[in-house]
Amino acid sequence: MATSVAELMDYDEVIERFDPVLGLEVHVELSTNTKMFCGCANLFGGEPNTHVCPTCLGLPGSLPVVNGKAVESAIRIGLALNCEIAEWCRFARKNYFYPDMPKNFQTSQYDEPIAFDGHLDVILDDGEVVRVDIERAHMEEDTGKSLHVGGATGRIHGAEHSLLDYNRAGVPLIEIVTKPITGMGERAPEVARAYVAALRDLLRAMDVSDVRMDQGSLRCDANVSLMPKGTSEFGTRTETKNVNSLRSVERAVRYEMTRQAAILAGGGSITQETRHFQESDGSTSSGRTKETAEDYRYFPEPDLVPIAPSREWVEELRATLPELPWERRKRIQAEWNLTDEELRDLVNTGAADLVAATVDAGAEPGEARSWWVQYLTQQANTREVELADLAITPAQVARIIALVKSGELTNKLAREVVSGVLEGEGEPDEVVDKRGLKVVSDDSALLTAVDEALAAQPDVAEKIRGGKVQAAGAIVGAVMKATKGQADAKRVRELILERVGA
Amino acid sequence: MTDLTKLGAAELAAKIHAREVTSVEVTTAHLDRIGEVDGAVHAFLHVDADGALAAARAVDGDIAEGRQPASPLAGVPLALKDVLTTEGVPTTCGSRTLENWLPPYDATVTRRLREAGVVILGKTNMDEFAMGSSTENSAYGPTRNPWDRERIPGGSGGGSSASLAAFEAPLAIGTDTGGSIRQPASVTGTVGVKPTYGGVSRYGLVAFSSSLDQAGPCARSVADAALLHEVIAGHDPMDSTSINAPVPPVVAAAREGALGDLKGVRVGVVKEFAGEGYQPGVLRSFEAAVAQLRDLGAEVVEVSCPNFTYAMPAYYLIAPSECSSNLARFDAMRYGLRVADDGGHSAEEVMSLTREAGFGPEVKRRIMLGTYALSSGYYDAYYGSAQKVRTLITRDFAAAFEQVDVLVSPTTPTTAFKIGERVDDPLAMYLADLCTIPSNLAGNAAMSVPSGLSDEDGLPVGLQIMAPALADDRMYKVGAAYEVARGPVLDRIPELKGVSA
Amino acid sequence: MSNISRTEVAHLAKLARMAVTEEELDVFAGQLDQILEAVAKVGEIAEADIPPTSHAVPLTNVFREDVVRQGLSQQQALAAAPAAEEGRFRVPRILGEEQ
């Protein structure tokens, strides 16, 4: 199917002429044991249609019963987002037909969300803190999954038929909706990414969700509109659906800004519609327009009774909140005595947890931080994995740091040990043994090498003897080469000076 | 041997438990009776002879080995409305769309019946998805009233009521959304009870209108209904709207009532349920019943429930709205009928064509009505207003129950009408539930007990007794007292024998 | 306040996914009109200050423990399916988009 390539405006020009307005809707799958309204296991994947029962298959006569743990998680999330918790709220039915939704209505919350009016402080790359206001967080259920067969693989267009798996149907979801985010200017795409990242870190710290964007346990819909500079009325927005990585969130927002700006500048108008993000080229393409949108006919779910969390319960749940990421950041900065810049690097590389764990394993904070933020971050980038997914544990890093501290490894050798661990050669000590990386500290072995080097370069030896101590560098280099870098350079220098009697 | 099919459930249970007769004999007698008369009555959509006999044998085995019967009704046969799921046994809800559906699970009511040793004979006919007052909306043809086979047996649970009146079963289960237990009971001279909403689990009851639906017992006597009530009622964690409280002591209340003393009981006559639209013979029967209650010692007063006249309009917004959503699941994707799956049609088209083919006119009408009432722009005027009326009706009940212990009215304004008479006039059909709807909207308990035959047409009339939520026992006491004083009604039913030939 | 048109009935049928016939459109338009006129009566007494009732019995906070309960096997789940393939429900091609 041929699609015309959208015209885009240069980004700097977009910023000169328009103010972007964002609205972010994030769906989070809770990691409860069971689904939202039935006792089926809440597990990712599995043989199709094996985590199903009459309720999540929508069989005639079946009824929902709310998972208390999911309500607890929803309230805790609301509290962590500084929301008010409703004194009384209900579920509603959102009515529309779709084959992956067994009842042809989604049990959700409509005008009575369990949490509302909150905010999340988001740190941008340069350390600036932006407060994103939260409109609401509400509970709902996930849909099943459809597989489209025939035609282009996996695509809905041209498919001959579809296959449905309801393992995911009824998995608890929390939908978190921001208020319109305005005044961000050129940083709007970055704010969008930073917000989703902050939310992900928060939910991870709370242990309420796997927050795996790649597996769909955290999904983001980005609403974008533009206002011409100097005006304050929001423009028509588009909603880009299911943007599935942090980078994509940023790209999708940026793309929509440049696309919409080009249309508006050309005298056109924006169609209110959902759009789909194309991972391949970072563009968005047109989906369902508002004209064909359904009338959802919301009404209170009669099969479920209202939820009225007592204030005592809410306070009990507040007390269970773990140290939240921003509180933790403050504490870490104080404890490790970090500058704002150091803290930012720590946060941006996502290394804070890893550093903390490395410190817990006995390493000194400065050393631990420098390993994770610098060398290991480089390694992660080279290998294109998340830092946390690097095949080395904080305990292993702590052991390597200890080996350096005791003089058994040089920094250079330590990096080789890291490589060995990353290559799966075992624990640091095993790598040291296998690769024979111990520092050569036996003076007699070193002296032999020193004597050989001096003998090979008598002119240099003479210079040193004559007082040009800095000339020793050449001999050190030769010795290091001869010992394949396993000698302690400082000791080598000492031995050279002793030998020539300088 | 006495004709086992003429005996009540309590008597049958007593004989079975005393080993005077086996459950298999009782069950066989009823299966034979079904074979004999159901061709003329059409109370059953499916007869599960093998399942019934197996259940009967299990009860007989228990008793033969000296074990305590599983319940006071162990071994007694029952007719189950086809809106409650039965694992591996067809459950059609009277709809073409579920013609061949075999549920993979039992409703809680079904499970409780099985656990109590009650023998399920089969599934009874009903208006499609319980929408109707005559059982004419069944996709499988109407059920006929055993009193006059040209007439309707009530609805939606006409199969259950007819099975009792035709002596095909001594017990039945119905479901009542706007009167679907009580109105059929009324027009067939049987007893039908809508328990307090939340008193009996709805798990496995195929939903018509979730906030109104309630399953309940049907029998030929108040005492039998009470025994069945205690088998099926009680908290169920699978139903969020199930009340977590002890079941009201309905069996004890029925026994107490049968002693015939209603001194100290205050009975309120609902003023609004009389006058235009009420058949004179029905009103005369009702007045006689009220006089009888007074004779039993009850203090009778007239009470006004001014908002009850708005109950029907509110009901015909709330029930269709909920049904439009509840029935959305019948979409040809996972179970049930599928038409036009010829490779040329999309899923959306197959859904639309299947729903068009699978639903009858009344179901379609209500789905569209409900879709309209919930639409943006109309919600407040229709659904929203109806919910407010619901509040007002609940308040009327609360005020009335401050003055009296129970309320009474005719169950339905007329006796059984003729088959076909109201099919083309939905509003006329809806009038049948005029008096029964308020208790569905408010969720309180209500029952229909026969109050004799109308003097103008010789057809049964029902007395409705309404009690506050969770005070189901009150109406059982009054109903049982009245029943004893009035004397039998069903023994005047014309003999059906030989009709099947 | 009603007067429901054929077009509106057609719209309702579309929302409700029912491929009603032309003849049905006429019949339903007339009947819905009649019924809506009768039920519109609720507006007469539904004053603004009256709270709506959505549930017959005023229960709150009914929750389930987060404990896995045995569900259906794949075979049971698919037993009633009009068509199945590879452990999944087989349905005709889906045209619309997910919401």
SS (H, E, C) B242-271: CCCCCCCCHHHHHHHHHCCCCCCCEEEEEC
Q: What is the pLDDT of residues A215-267, one digit of tens each?
A: 899 999 999 999 999 999 999 999 999 798 999 999 999 999 999 999 999 99
Question: What is the C-alpha separation between A45 and A85, in angstroms, rounded?
Answer: 33
Question: What would the two tokens of residue B56 be?
Answer: 């009967």
Closest CA to B374 of B173, B188, B209, B149: B209
Question: What is the C-alpha separation between B347 and B336, in angstroms, rounded?
Answer: 15
Q: Looking at the predicted structure, is the pLDDT value of residue A275 above 60?
A: yes
Strands (E), B143-197: 171-175, 191-194
- From the candidates A165, A297, A305, A307, which should be mutated to test the interface with B, based on the most B CB atoms within 10 A? A297
Q: Looking at the predicted structure, is the pLDDT value of residue A36 above 90?
A: yes
> Quick check: B331 and A104 CB within 8 A?
yes
> Quick check: B367 and C16 CB within 8 A?
yes
What pLDDT does residue A1 have?
38
Question: What is the C-alpha separation between B27 and B122, in angstroms, rounded?
Answer: 11
What pLDDT does residue A490 have?
83
Show residues of chain A in contact with B205, CB under 8 Å.
61
Closest CA to A81 of A310, A326, A278, A275: A326
Quick count: other Cβ atoms within 10 Å of Cβ C58? 11
Question: What would the two tokens of residue A16 be?
Answer: 């000169």
| Mean pLDDT across chain A | 90
HSE of A322, CA atoms in CB hemisphere, 13 A: 12
- Closest by Cβ to C93, choosing from A50, A161, A305: A161
What pLDDT does residue A290 have?
58
Question: What is the C-alpha separation between B206 and B109, in angstroms, rounded?
Answer: 12
Question: What is the C-alpha separation between A362 and B448, in angstroms, rounded?
Answer: 79
Q: What was the ipTM of the complex prediction?
A: 0.97
What pLDDT does residue A353 have?
82
What pLDDT does residue B500 have?
47
Q: What is the pLDDT of residues B9-20, one digit of tens each?
A: 999 999 999 999
Q: Which long-range contacts (CB under 8 A, 24 or more apart) does B34-37 make?
A: B34/B121, B34/B122, B34/B168, B35/B500, B36/B497, B36/B500, B37/B146, B37/B166, B37/B167, B37/B168, B37/B496, B37/B497, B37/B499, B37/B500
Which amino acid, residue B180? S
Catalytic residues of B: 81, 156, 180
Show residues of chain C in contact with B359, CB under 8 Å.
18
Chains touching A (3+ CB pairs < 8 Å): B, C
B406 backbone dihedrals φ, ψ, rounded to 5°: -135, 160
Q: Does A90 touch chain B (CB under 8 A)?
A: no
**Are the CB atoms for B93 and B329 separated by under 8 Å?**
no
| Mean pLDDT across chain C | 93
pTM, entire model: 0.89
Question: What is the C-alpha separation between C68 and C46, in angstroms, rounded?
Answer: 44
What pLDDT does residue B171 have?
98
**Choice among A27-31, A386-390, B51-55 with the minimum mean pLDDT:** A386-390
Q: How far is CA C31 from CA B60, B312, B356, B381, in A?
A: 54, 16, 18, 19
The stretch A349-367 carries a mean pLDDT of 88
Peptide bond into B156 cis (omega under 30): yes
Q: Looking at the predicted structure, is the pLDDT value of residue B246 above 50?
A: yes
Question: What is the C-alpha separation between B109 and B121, in angstroms, rounded?
Answer: 15
Which amino acid, residue B13? A
Show residues of chain C in contact with A70, CB under 8 Å.
66
Question: What is the C-alpha separation between B247 and B483, in angstroms, rounded?
Answer: 23
Percent with pLDDT over 90 in chain A: 61
Question: What is the C-alpha separation between A285 and A266, in angstroms, rounded?
Answer: 19
B179 sits in which H/E element: none
- Closest by Cβ to B322, choosing from A64, A66, A302: A302
B108, with CB counted inside 10 A (0-12, 13-18, 19+), is buried
Closest CA to B443 of B382, B484, B391, B497: B391
Q: Looking at the predicted structure, is the pLDDT value of residue B1 above 50?
A: no
Question: What is the C-alpha separation between A420 and A400, in angstroms, rounded?
Answer: 12
Q: What is the pLDDT of residues C2-45, one digit of tens each?
A: 578 999 999 999 999 999 999 999 999 999 999 999 999 999 99
Shortest distance between the Cα of C9 and any Cα of chain B, in A, equals 8
Q: What is the pLDDT of residues A304-324, one digit of tens each?
A: 999 999 999 999 999 999 988
Q: Looking at the predicted structure, is the pLDDT value of residue A72 above 90?
A: yes
Q: Looking at the predicted structure, is the pLDDT value of residue B418 above 80?
A: yes
Question: What would the two tokens of residue C63 be?
Answer: 């929750």
Residue B98: closest CA among chain A residues belongs to which residue?
Answer: A60
SS3 B414: coil
Q: Looking at the predicted structure, is the pLDDT value of residue B396 above 80?
A: yes
> Quick check: B240 and A105 CB within 8 A?
no
Q: Does B385 touch chain A (CB under 8 A)?
A: no
Chains touching B (3+ CB pairs < 8 Å): A, C
Strands (E), B323-430: 406-410
A228 sits in which H/E element: strand A218-228
**Choice among A201-215, A435-449, A456-470, B88-102 with the minimum mean pLDDT:** A435-449
Q: What is the DSSP string of B193-248?
A: EEPPTTSB--TTB--SSTTT--EEEEESSHHHHHHHHHHHBS--TT-TTS--SPPP
Altogether, the residues listed in chain A come to a count of: 502
- Closest by Cβ to C93, choosing from A66, A159, A304: A159
What pLDDT does residue C1 have?
44
What pLDDT does residue A167 have?
97
Percent with pLDDT over 90 in chain B: 95
Contacts of B353 (CB under 8 A, 6+ apart): B339, B340, B345, C19
- From the candidates B331, B346, B354, which should be mutated to test the interface with A, based on the most A CB atoms within 10 A? B331
- Closest by Cβ to A95, choosing from B211, B328, B347: B328
- From the candidates A65, A168, A305, A311, which should be mutated to test the interface with C, based on the most C CB atoms within 10 A? A305
In the numeric block, the tokens 């095993």 are attached to A430
Shortest distance between the Cα of C14 and any Cα of chain A, in A, equals 10
In the numeric block, the tokens 């939260």 are attached to A134
B121, with CB counted inside 10 A (0-12, 13-18, 19+), is buried
Q: Looking at the predicted structure, is the pLDDT value of residue A423 above 50?
A: yes
A447, with CB counted inside 10 A (0-12, 13-18, 19+), is middle
Question: What is the C-alpha separation between B293 and B207, in angstroms, rounded?
Answer: 36
b/e sequence B371-409, b meaning 16+ C-beta within 10 Å: bbbbbeebbebbbbbbbbbbbbbbebbeebbeebbbbbb
| Mean pLDDT across chain B | 96
Q: What is the DSSP string of C8-72?
A: HHHHHHHHTT----HHHHHHHHHHHHHHHHHHGGGGGT--TTSPP---SS-----EE-S-----B
Q: How far is CA B353 from CA A156, B59, B244, B350, in A?
A: 21, 46, 43, 5
Q: Looking at the predicted structure, is the pLDDT value of residue B294 above 60?
A: yes
**Are the CB atoms for C60 and A60 separated by under 8 Å?**
no
A477 sits in which H/E element: helix A472-482
**Choice among A449-453, B50-54, B391-395, C80-84 with the minimum mean pLDDT:** A449-453
Relative orientation angle of helices C22-39 and C6-15, to the nearest 10 degrees: 100
What pLDDT does residue A289 have?
67
B373 backbone dihedrals φ, ψ, rounded to 5°: -65, -25
Tell me the sheet residues that pair with A122. Answer: A130
Quick count: other Cβ atoms within 10 Å of Cβ A131? 10
Residue B372: closest CA among chain A residues belongs to which residue?
Answer: A297
Question: What is the C-alpha separation between A481 and B1, in angstroms, rounded?
Answer: 114
In the numeric block, the tokens 């003849």 are attached to C23
b/e sequence A168-193, b meaning 16+ C-beta within 10 Å: bbbbbbbbbbbbebeebeebbbbbbb
The stretch A67-80 carries a mean pLDDT of 98
